[in-house]
Structure 1
Amino acid sequence: MKVFITLLALAVASAAAAPKTAVVHPKDLPVSDNKIEGRITNGYPAYEGKAPYTVGLGFNGWWCGGSIIGNTWVLTASHCTGGDSVTVYFGATWRTNAQFTHYVSSNNFIDHWVDDIALIRIPHVDFWHMVNKVELPSYGQRDDQFQDSWAVACGWGRTSDGNQPDWMQCVDLQVISNNECASVYGNSIVNTNIICVRVSDGKSTCSGDSGGPLVSHDGNKLIGVTNWVSSSGCMAGHPSGFQRVTHHLDWIRDNTGISY
Structure 2
Amino acid sequence: MGTHFVILISIGSIFVFAQSSLGSPQGRIQNGIEVDTLRRFPHYVTIVSETPTGKNYCGGSIISELWILTAARCVSAEEFSVHFLLRNISNTRNSFSITLDQSSVTAYPTGFDNIALVELPVFLKFSDKLAPISYFGGDIEYAKPNNGFVVMPGFSLQETKVLTYGMFKLVSSRQCRATYGQLFDEYLQICTFGWNNNNQMPCEGNEGSGLIIGWPQEPRLIGIFSSPLKCGSDMPAVYVKLLQYEKWIDQTIGGRLTTTWPTTPTVPTTSPITTTPSSPPSTTSSQPPPTTPTQTTSTASPPTTSPPPPPTTPSSPPTTLSPTTTPPPSSISLPPLTTPSP
**Aligned equivalent of 1:111:** 107
* Correspondence for 1:134: 133
After the TM superposition, which residues 157-196 of structure 1 pair with which residues of structure 2 at under 5 Å, given as runs? 157-158=156-157, 163=158, 165-196=160-191
- Return the letter of the residue paired with 2:35: A
Where do residues 7-156 of structure 1 align in structure 2 (5 Å cutoff)? 39-49=28-38, 50-60=40-50, 61-95=55-89, 97=92, 98-112=94-108, 113-122=111-120, 123-137=122-136, 141=138, 144-145=141-142, 147=144, 148-156=147-155
**SS across alignment from 2:183:** coil
Cα distance between partner residues in 2 of 1:44 and 1:165: 10
The answer as to whether partners of 1:146 and 1:175 remain within 8 angstroms in 2 is no
CA gap 1:152/1:258 in 2 versus in 1, 3 angstroms: farther
Question: Structure 1 unaligned runs (5+)?
Answer: 1-30, 32-37
CA drift of 1:103 comes to 1.6
Mapped partners of 1:41, 1:172: distance in 2: 11
Shift of the alpha carbon at 1:142? 5.8
Greater per-residue helix proportion: 1
3-state SS in 2 of match to 1:131: coil
C-alpha distance after superposition, 1:195-225 (max 9, x if no partner): 1101453010001111011111352010111
Distance 1:164 1:85 in 2: 28
Q: How far 1:143 moved relative to its partner?
A: 6.2
Amino acid at match of 1:120: V
More displaced 10-residue stretch of structure 1: 209-218 or 176-185: 209-218
Contact persistence 2:61–2:209 (CA under 8 A): yes
The residue correspondences of 1:161-240 to structure 2 (distance < 5 A) are: 163=158, 165-199=160-194, 200-217=197-214, 219-229=218-228, 233-240=230-237
Q: Which amino acid aligns with 1:211?
A: G
Secondary structure of 2:161's counterpart equals coil
Kept after mapping to 2: 8 A contact 1:142/1:246: no
Give the whole-Å Cα distance in 1 for the aligned partners of 2:83 and 2:255: 22
- 1:165 Cα deviation from its structure 2 partner: 4.1
Give the TM-score, by structure 1 length.
0.76
- SS in structure 2 opposite 1:249? helix
Deviations 1:111-169 (A, max 9, x none): 1113111111112101101111111115xx266427421111111254xxxx2742101
The 1:188/1:56 distance shift into structure 2, 3 A limit, reads same
Give 3-state SS (helix, strand or coil) of 1:181's partner. helix
Distance (Å, rounded) in 2 between the aligned partners of 1:192 and 1:146:
10
What is the match of residue 14 of structure 1?
none
C-alpha contact (below 8 Å) 2:30/2:156 kept by paired residues: no
C-alpha distance in 2, partners of 1:211/1:80?
7
Runs ≥4 in structure 1, deviation > 4 angstroms?
none
Greater CA deviation, 215-224 or 126-135? 215-224
Contact 1:157 1:206 in 2 (8 A): no
Runs (5+) with no aligned partner, structure 2:
1-25, 259-342
> Could you say which structure has the greater relative contact order, defined with CA pairs below 8 angstroms and 6 or more residues apart?
1
Distance in 1 (alpha carbons) for counterparts of 2:134 and 2:67 = 12
Paired-residue identity, %: 21
Contact kept, 8 Å, 1:56 with 1:88, in 2: the verdict is: yes
Which range is displaced more, 221-230 or 166-175?
221-230
How far apart in 1 are the matches of 2:171 and 2:61?
Answer: 22
- Cα deviation, residue 187, structure 1: 2.6
Alpha-carbon distance in structure 1 between the residues aligned to 2:48 and 2:126:
21
- Does 198-207 or 142-151 show the bigger shift? 142-151
Q: Give distance in 2, aligned partners of 1:153 and 1:187.
A: 26
SS at 1:75's partner residue? strand
Residue 248 of structure 1: CA displacement? Answer: 0.6
* CA–CA separation in structure 1 for the residues paired with 2:219 and 2:88: 22
